[in-house]
Amino acid sequence: MIRVITIEREYGSGGAEIASELAQHLGWKLWDQLLTNEIARLLECDCGAVEKHEEKRDPLYYRLLKGFLRGSYEGSVHAPHAKIVDTECIREVAEKVVKGAAEAGNCVIVGRGSAYYLQNRSDAFHTFVYAPFEEKVRRLEAGGKNQEEALELAETVDRDRADFIMQYFGVEWPDRHKFHLMVNSTIGQKAAVDTILKSIDLLDKAVKH
């Protein structure tokens, strides 16, 4: 029986909104902004610091500097006392929070590698939400971005996510084999939610037989 739904999404595809409606329909807990808040609480930092590093790799210069510090005397002395918020520590905490949420069950988890962390759970259903590039730009503009910002975000955010998934999971994002269902959000938010629910119902019936 499915107790966890993960929603991976292209930026601007409306995946977060679909996840929210899905959670509301089921009466389940939504782990989206809540996930960011919990990571920030555990790391004792503000949400902005977490959002800056979520689902993206740290810049090359930072990774080189961090590697240098780890290998230096000064770095080994001061590192245990420094509270550094970067992609690696956020990823480690995110994995714990995601797995904890899955253990509790009855939840919808948005991104943050959740579909990959929970691949071995038989009670998890993984969905990928996508949309044509022009539709994503339109959505972002409707959300208040100007055309230049919308175009840049639609091009760069997913590239960052792909780099993050490749670094930590070794697969080409999104890797369709990791998902039970891929939904084009141009069918409409309600239709997307209905499609996910119907697919889960069909999977549950197939497993029972």
Query: pLDDT-derived band of residue 59, with 50, 70 and 90 as boundaries?
Result: low
Tens digits of residue pLDDT in 167-179: 999 999 999 999 9
**Sign of the CA dihedral with 187 first, then 190, 191, and 197 last:** positive
Tens digits of residue pLDDT in 134-165: 999 999 999 999 999 999 999 999 999 999 99
* Closest to 178 (Cα-Cα) out of 132, 130, 114: 114
Q: Where are the domains of the chain?
A: 4-202
State the Cα–Cα distance between residues 24 and 123, nearest whole angstrom: 19
Average pLDDT of the segment spanning 180-207: 96
Which tokens belong to 60?
A: 């090359």
Cross-strand bridge partners of residue 108:
5, 30
Query: pLDDT-derived band of residue 85, with 50, 70 and 90 as boundaries?
Result: confident
- Residue 81, pLDDT > 90, answer no
Query: pLDDT-derived band of residue 58, with 50, 70 and 90 as boundaries?
Result: low
Helix 87-104 vs helix 33-43: angle between axes, to the nearest 10 degrees?
120
State the Cα–Cα distance between residues 74 and 61, nearest whole angstrom: 18
How much is the pLDDT for 181?
98
Q: Which CATH architecture has domain 4-202?
A: 3-Layer(aba) Sandwich (3.40)
